[in-house]
Amino acid sequence: MIPYGRQDISEADIQAVVDVLSCDFLTQGPEVPGFEQAVARYCDARHAIAVNSATSALHLACLALQVGPRDCVWTSPITFVATANCALHCGAAVDFVDIDPGTCNLSVQRLAEKLEVAKRYNRLPKVVIPVHFGGQACDMAAIHDLGNRFGFRIIEDASHAIGGRYRGEPVGNGRYSDITVFSFHPVKLITTAEGGMALTNDHRLARRMRLLRSHGTTRDAADMTRPPDGPWYYQQIDVGFNYRMTDLQAALGSSQLKRLDEFVARRHDIAERYDECVANLPVATLSQCPDSHSARHLYVIRLKLSEIESTHRNIYDAMRTAGVGVNVHYIPLHLQPYYTQLGFVAGQYPEAERYYSEALTLPIYAALTVSEQTYVCSALSECLGRGRKHA
Ligand SMILES: *Cc1c(COP(=O)(O)O)cnc(C)c1O
């Protein structure tokens, strides 16, 4: 089966991890700050906090922005469940903003409309979490303007977008947000097996995320309520978690980061070949905005079901039977039982629901070969052709 995404591990990556195994520290050694500095430099951000997943990074980001039980956090319904769970973990409520049908990113127009209504009812969100779907940055300048006007903070869920750019600058530089989060899960752009990172230019947010990453304890005398008892001393000044990344993971991340630009370039080549191959098929692709240079994490097609005799489900099954591990990203969050039980209903976010009924993710990853891709294209064309409606 050709998967929809997978890691690309080089000999240098393996050596980097093996080298750490013979060092004094497997965790909390020099590799984690080294990886943090490398990503911060790559993204042109002041602070980077490495953690054990993007899920943890999103949680720390919400806590640093003081999201609590009286607050509401808004995001897109077309994302992974973790994007919304971070708010729930803080006791906050979650609400959604429908997607733009072209990019499948959160619609800025819907956001602006929803904010106007929320303002009248005094129900404005504390935080909005735009998700850079498939690696293409949201319209961050516009979201940032709305943030200033309506007083909400912004966390970019850039789990798909490290290596991408917005208006010529790296995603993660924080020009239009408070905190940016990356994921290093193996299907993402670069991997640390499990892992994530939060970037910010605000030293107070950075300090708070660092503190909560490791139990709420500090060894920094400047953060302590009284002078240290001695060199062994640490103080617990808050309640935190063990969200630490290991040195093994960080060494892998630093090694992978060196190839990130090459990975993104390969993904663009693959996407261009797909664009050509699907041009004559009854499918649509996501529109790409000139402001955004996508990291091309996902290659999503939307089936034009009115021109196809088969169904979404049958095409999915036929592709899988042909050995192509297509996938569906994502099931709209508001249709998950957790949310329907809270009162969300079908029909509430029509663009997200329409998208879900026709979306298919094709394999895209740096190590995908041209011949594998040619096979994916012919399998797709056959699956669609077989069921194509004749006029
Ligand atoms: C993968 C992903 C996450 C979660 O990342 P983990 O590192 O697995 O915790 C969150 N949001 C989005 C949009 C993702 O794709």
Q: What domains, with CATH codes, occur in the chain?
A: 11-257 (3.40.640.10), 260-386 (3.90.1150.10)
Q: How far does the centroid of ligand 1 lie from the alpha carbon of residue 281, in Å?
A: 31
pLDDT band at 385 (very low <50, low <70, confident <90, very high): confident
How far is Cα 100 from Cα 108, in angstroms, rounded to an integer?
8
pLDDT digits (tens, 9 = 90+) for 139-176: 999 999 999 999 999 999 999 999 999 999 999 999 99
To the nearest 10°, report the CA torsion of 48, 81, 327, 306: -120
Atom of ligand 1 nearest to the CA of 185: 7
pTM of the model: 0.97
At 389 the pLDDT is: 65
Measuring CA to CA, which residue among 320, 331, 332 is closest to residue 363?
Answer: 320
Q: How far does the centroid of ligand 1 lie from the alpha carbon of residue 107, in Å?
A: 20
How far is Cα 255 from Cα 272, in angstroms, rounded to an integer?
27
Q: How far does the centroid of ligand 1 lie from the alpha carbon of residue 158, in Å?
A: 9
Atom of ligand 1 nearest to the CA of 194: 7
Measured in whole angstroms, the distance separating CA 284 from the mean position of its chain's CA atoms is 23
pLDDT digits (tens, 9 = 90+) for 170-213: 999 999 999 999 999 999 999 999 999 999 999 999 999 999 99
What mean pLDDT is predicted for residues 72-94?
98
State the average pLDDT for the chain: 97
Atom of ligand 1 nearest to the CA of 188: 1
Strand spans (E) along 259-306: 283-285, 292-293, 299-303
Q: What type of residue sits at position 175?
A: R
Q: Contact, 129 vs 83, CB < 8 A?
A: yes
Of 83, 241, 327, best ligand 1 pocket probe by most atoms within 8 Å of the beta carbon: 83
pLDDT digits (tens, 9 = 90+) for 21-33: 999 999 989 999 9
How far is Cα 63 from Cα 56, in angstroms, rounded to an integer?
11
Q: How far does the centroid of ligand 1 lie from the alpha carbon of residue 133, in Å?
A: 11
Of all protein residues, the one whose alpha carbon is nearest to atom 2 of ligand 1 is 159
What is the dihedral sign for C-alpha 17, 19, 22, 28?
negative
Of 52, 55, 194, 329, best ligand 1 pocket probe by most atoms within 8 Å of the beta carbon: 55
Answer whether residue 89 shows pLDDT above 80. Answer: yes
Question: Is the preceding omega at residue 356 within 30 degrees of 0, hence cis?
Answer: no
Of 133, 185, 194, best ligand 1 pocket probe by most atoms within 8 Å of the beta carbon: 185
The set of protein residues with a Cβ atom below 6 angstroms from ligand 1 is 53-55, 79-80, 82-83, 131, 157, 159-160, 183, 185, 196
Of all protein residues, the one whose alpha carbon is nearest to atom 6 of ligand 1 is 54
Measured in whole angstroms, the distance separating CA 202 from the mean position of its chain's CA atoms is 21
